[in-house]
Amino acid sequence: MRLVVVGADGRMGKMLIRAVAEAEGCTLSAAIEREGSDAIGHDAGTLAGLHPLGVPVTDDPLTAFAASDGVLDFTVPAATVMFSELAAQARIVHVVGTTGLSEDDLAKLRAAAYHARIVRSGNMSLGVNLLAALVKRVAAALGPEFDIEIAEMHHRMKVDAPSGTALLLGEAAAAGRGVDLADVRVSTRDGHTGARKPGDIGFATLRGGSVVGDHSVIFAGAGERITLSHHAEDRSLFAAGAVKAALWAHPKPPGLYSMTDVLGL
Ligand SMILES: NC(=O)C1=CN([C@@H]2O[C@H](COP(=O)(O)OP(=O)(O)OC[C@H]3O[C@@H](n4cnc5c(N)ncnc54)[C@H](OP(=O)(O)O)[C@@H]3O)[C@@H](O)[C@H]2O)C=CC1
Ligand SMILES: O=C(O)C1=N[C@H](C(=O)O)C[C@H](O)C1
- pLDDT in tens for each of the 265 residues of the chain? 999 999 999 999 999 999 999 999 999 999 999 999 999 999 999 999 999 999 999 999 999 999 999 999 999 999 999 999 999 999 999 999 999 999 999 999 999 999 999 999 999 999 999 999 999 999 999 989 999 999 999 999 999 999 999 999 999 999 999 999 999 999 999 999 999 999 999 999 999 999 999 999 999 999 999 999 999 999 999 999 999 999 999 999 999 999 999 999 9
Name the residue type at position 191.
G
pLDDT at 237: 96
Ligand 2 atom with minimal separation from the 159 CA: 1
- The helix or strand, by DSSP H or E, that contains position 173, with its residue range, turns out to be helix 164-177
Flag whether the ipTM exceeds 0.85.
yes
Q: Decide whether any atom of ligand 2 lies within 6 Å of the 164 Cβ.
A: yes
- The helix or strand, by DSSP H or E, that contains position 3, with its residue range, turns out to be strand 2-6
Nearest ligand to the CA atom of 75: 1
Percentages of the chain per state (helix, strand, coil), in multiples of 5: 40, 25, 40
Report the sign of the C-alpha dihedral through residues 230, 233, 235, 241, in that order.
negative
Orientation angle between helical segments 77-90 and 103-112, nearest 10 degrees: 10
Q: Decide whether any atom of ligand 2 lies within 6 Å of the 122 Cβ.
A: yes
Measured in angstroms, how far is the CA atom of residue 180 from the centroid of ligand 1? Answer: 28
Residue nearest to atom 11 of ligand 2 (CA): 213
Ligand 1 atom with minimal separation from the 32 CA: 31
Measured in angstroms, how far is the CA atom of residue 158 from the centroid of ligand 1? Answer: 10
Q: Decide whether any atom of ligand 1 lies within 6 Å of the 123 Cβ.
A: yes
Smallest CA-to-CA distance from 151 within 97, 223, 220, 52 is with 220
Ligand 1 atom with minimal separation from the 232 CA: 48
**Rounded Cα gap, residues 13 and 48, in angstroms:** 8
Nearest ligand to the CA atom of 76: 1
Residue nearest to atom 41 of ligand 1 (CA): 10
